[in-house]
Structure 1
């Protein structure tokens, strides 16, 4: 997924269709000079609908389509004919998309399943024809109901990447390298911080042709929950991961301290993230020997951990086994 093609935030202006007016019509034919009311109802205005599409990974197709208009419903007519409904506008979005009202901040819906449908802006209802208003005391109503007006709404679409495992760590912790080793994903890798600016997804092959999805989340820095280092853009992608794999390099001065900082950033952003299952991978372990590993183990966080090296492959299979067990726990 090229970074230039990855768009995870768009704001669009949506307008639904107006409902068609009901018909004020009185029946007339060669045998009825003064027939009763037979005005039909107006058609419904078109909705603006969001639809989950598993083949989409980004919102780039909406980047330059900032205005979405649905059709108006048609008016009713005589002989109890109902007007045609306005055509709906269906917007395909990737799974994990959250729609919010840009003016109120209200969450409209969250799309998490393929083919899932959500009406972002409802079309106006069609007006009732005069046939609906007849009564014993008013047998020839000469009025009909107008259709409901259009509804305009500014909608923000945010993509939160869906994955089984999310990689959490500071910049340059080896997250992209790990993803490139365990999957066919080709994230940009370089020896400087913030190489990864957008999430990368990879399918990790496991034993017996089984697999799970891993997401390389861009690096977090202290203060990310306040927006530092584009932190808010990065942190929201962690919300949709089942398991969080914290990655701290073996050459860190304080592995436990870095883990606490990362955990605190998640807590400050959304306390519910602490309810997710957590594992720790100490990366770049090809630089240390077994004696040093044993010494480091005395001060590691109280969560399952493994020493890995993406360069030599050491600990990679053990890591996959750990992740698979956690993902499939009852």
Structure 2
């Protein structure tokens, strides 16, 4: 086995769920090189670079590329046939060589008759495995590890990513973050309906204040106003454009716990061994709860209906 292609979905969470599969492949084929296509300006690309020399991100062209533009247009229109057609054309163009094994975590394709068919790339001569070869009614980590079984290799629940956890957690500007006696609150979410309320965060921060713990807030520029309105502590307010994924992992690892909605940051914190309280509204915690912290997940019909008491109860269980 010389070259392996792994085509992941495009979220940080999906990439984190794929870590055990990547490590299973590397353990079974230590001399093989694993290529993973990703958009160069995304956090997923950054995450891929953490693994070491045996894993390489293959840059997708930007949105002006004709195949990429057509794929995006088809996605917005809900046209699965054309979306998969142009994505496969894009892969055929950017892949640097042939592969002995190709794994497609993306959904199956549609043919011209509208029938579901396995995802395949014509120019790849090696074995190709897609979602048609696995069961999809399991937790994402276990679902992706089925690709290892389908490839005939042992499935390893190994979440290591080559991050040196002994180094200080720093912002891009060099600021060294605390190394003890704090919790991390992730304010952001990829979709507005996954964000918790200001009142909820206020209650949780006061709960930590009463226990002598500082809070570190992590969010994007759109959460700056929210951060200013939260109770004053010795907060360090960061945003995910100011901290690398590796440094966020170190920050999460040293914390007393991480509290987050359904985000990639939540799954990254879980993967490195942090205690995590996952908050869920529109997405089901039974499927998407952080893999090692399912017992601490809290659920409501919507994030607006998620009560602070649900979260503080779990906080007290951990502390």
Q: TM-score, normalised by structure 2?
A: 0.22
Greater strand fraction, Structure 1 or Structure 2? 1
Q: Larger radius of gyration, structure 1 or 2?
A: 1
Greater helix fraction, Structure 1 or Structure 2? 2
